[in-house]
Amino acid sequence: VSTKRVLVIGSGGREHALAWRAVQEGHDVLVAPGSEGIEGTARCVGVAVRDADGLVALAKAEHVDLVVVGPEQPLVDGLADRLRAADIDTLGPGAAGARLEGSKAFAKDFMRRHGIPTAAASIVRDVADGCAALRRFAEPPVVKASGLAAGKGVVVPETFEEAETALRDCLERGAFGAAGATVVLEERLSGEELSFFVLTDGAAAVAFAPSQDHKRLGDGDAGPNTGGMGACAPAPRGDERVCARILAEVVEPTLVGLRADGTPYRGVLFVGLMIDERGAPFVIEYNVRFGDPEVQPLMFGAVDPVVGPFLAAARGELDPGTLRATPAATVVLAAPGYPGEPARGIPIRGLERASARPEVAIFHAGTRRDGHGGWCSDGGRVLGVCARGPDVASAVARAYQAVDDIEFPGARLRRDIGWRAR
Ligand SMILES: Nc1ncnc2c1ncn2[C@@H]1O[C@H](COP(=O)(O)OP(=O)(O)O)[C@@H](O)[C@H]1O
Ligand SMILES: [Mg+2]
């Protein structure tokens, strides 16, 4: 494959991992806006993710062959439409396709119309209807703000009182602004969660190994929800049989549905699933981009090249298939205070030693230089410590050895990443 110029949009651990992988494959990589932590991997250009004019101009001026859009907000805002209108190959759906993530009410309606397995749900816009709908559930339903809420818009209540409070937070108290003006109430599913990513050009799909995030802050899945405290791939629950069911019962009908609705889709489709005891998949949500931290083990463990398929998906020339991967895992180091207000400027030492370990890579999510040749924290999730191994358990063990090389006072981390695979 010839060298391509790839522009990755975003500034977190996800974008660092994507840029790292593209560099490994021999491509010339730019990141906008990137970060000081990503600068060690690829050239960063200070254009903001929501500055569509600036990004189109940058892609043109730099003769970029492919744009990979990291975060969801610019996709929902139509950045991919803007880039494609300027003749720039882009991995990421246009605004119409991005509604699958941008509106949980839209996604629920889409799944119902196209026979895609998902929890029974009620979509409500005012408190009286919402309270009436609540009473029709046998158990307290999950309460979801329909719009983008940076991973904070979902409550899984234990009681009907808690469910009603969450409903009122959205509809009366405006906790999520316009994103909470519509609420999806849905039946609570049980089983094991799985993250499933495919590249698609709207017709063919190329699947990554199934992966798992660890959303709760504490070991044993205790404590508050976070942006993700670690991930591993492949996840054992996604065995061959389960993956075949996901492809047949979820991915294929989703692509058929998008085509039937006249919605072109060229990008990453991320399906968040609950797998029940019998191995049946149910869609919890769609996302329209890679998930962080799952993307870190997928990029670090990738055996087959990914940039070729990215470009093929962007151009509508994708051949269906599966990407092979080595087992890998990421442990997230978060700042003291996370997921509340994170402490910034906490010194971090030992990164050189940790990243010099074989089969280890460190992805920067929220760091900056301290002005004296070192690093300090500058965000909630700060670092992703990623490792590969012959199996997930060895990859996890290696990641923790590297974690223990790092001095980051008060850092929050889980010690049980990949527990389901051990
Ligand atoms: N129907 C459901 N049954 C059980 N748990 C759920 C359900 N819907 C969501 N959850 C839990 O809440 C988390 C967040 O919900 P999700 O729909 O993925 O929203 P978002 O990622 O946008 O915050 C999920 O990862 C899952 O743990
Ligand atoms: Mg989710």
Q: pLDDT tens-digit profile of 180-209? A: 999 999 999 999 999 999 999 999 999 999
Ligand 2 midpoint to CA 272 (Å): 6
Query: What is the per-residue pLDDT for 86?
Result: 98
Query: What is the per-residue pLDDT for 422?
Result: 81
For 314, residues 6+ apart whose C-beta sits below 8 A from its C-beta are: 66, 67, 89, 90, 91, 201, 266, 267
In the sheet where 230-233 sits, what is the strand order?
212-213, 230-233, 328-334, 381-388, 360-364
Residue whose Cα lies nearest atom 23 of ligand 1: it is: 151
Ligand 1 site-directed mutation target among 183, 284, 290, most atoms within 8 Å of CB = 284
Ligand 1 atom nearest to CA at 152:
23
Query: What's the whole-number mean pLDDT along residues 217-231?
Result: 95
Ligand 1 site-directed mutation target among 142, 212, 274, 288, most atoms within 8 Å of CB = 142
Query: What is the per-residue pLDDT for 167?
Result: 97
Ligand 1 midpoint to CA 154 (Å): 6
* CB neighbour class for 300 (10 Å; exposed up to 12, middle 13-18, buried from 19): buried
Query: What is the per-residue pLDDT for 421?
Result: 87
Share of the chain above pLDDT 70, in %: 100
Is residue 160 very low, low, confident or very high in pLDDT (cuts 50, 70, 90)? very high
For 419, residues 6+ apart whose C-beta sits below 8 A from its C-beta are: none
Q: Is the CB of 154 under 6 A from ligand 1?
A: yes
Ligand 2 midpoint to CA 29 (Å): 29
Q: How many CB atoms lie within 10 A of CB 137?
A: 18
Q: Is the CB of 54 under 6 A from ligand 1?
A: no
Backbone angles phi, psi at 367, to 5 degrees: -125, 165
Query: What is the per-residue pLDDT for 151?
Result: 85
Q: Is the CB of 142 under 6 A from ligand 1?
A: yes
Query: What is the per-residue pLDDT for 1?
Result: 63
Q: Is the CB of 191 under 6 A from ligand 1?
A: no
**Collapsed DSSP state (helix, strand, coil) of residue 254:** helix
- The H or E element that residue 308 is part of is helix 307-315
Q: Is the CB of 153 under 6 A from ligand 1?
A: yes
Q: Is the CB of 156 under 6 A from ligand 1?
A: yes
Q: Is the CB of 157 under 6 A from ligand 1?
A: no
Q: Is the CB of 192 under 6 A from ligand 1?
A: no
Give 325's DSSP letter: B
Which amino acid is present at 373?
Answer: G
Torsion sign (Cα): 46, 149, 52, 65: positive
Query: What is the per-residue pLDDT for 213?
Result: 97
Q: What's the gap between Cα 251 and its chain centre?
A: 17
Which tokens sit at 394? 């060895």
Q: How far apart are CA 239 and CA 245, in angstroms?
A: 10
Cβ–Cβ under 8 Å, residues 368 and 334: no
Torsion region of 71: left, alpha or beta (phi above 0 gives left; psi -120 to 50 gives alpha):
beta
Ligand 1 site-directed mutation target among 72, 111, 156, most atoms within 8 Å of CB = 156
Share of the chain above pLDDT 90, in %: 97
Q: Is the CB of 39 under 6 A from ligand 1?
A: no
Query: What is the per-residue pLDDT for 103?
Result: 98
- What does pLDDT average to over the chain? 97
For 408, residues 6+ apart whose C-beta sits below 8 A from its C-beta are: 333, 346, 347, 348, 349, 377, 382, 383
3-state helix, strand, coil in the chain (%, to 5): 35, 25, 40
Task: Give 230-289 pLDDT, tens digit per residue.
Answer: 999 999 999 999 999 999 999 999 999 999 999 999 999 999 999 999 999 999 999 999
For 164, residues 6+ apart whose C-beta sits below 8 A from its C-beta are: 131, 134
Q: Is the CB of 188 under 6 A from ligand 1?
A: yes
Q: Is the CB of 143 under 6 A from ligand 1?
A: no
Residue whose Cα lies nearest atom 16 of ligand 1: it is: 285
pTM score > 0.85 for this model? yes
Ligand 2 midpoint to CA 175 (Å): 18
Query: What's the whole-number mean pLDDT along residues 72-87?
Result: 98
Q: Is the CB of 216 under 6 A from ligand 1?
A: no
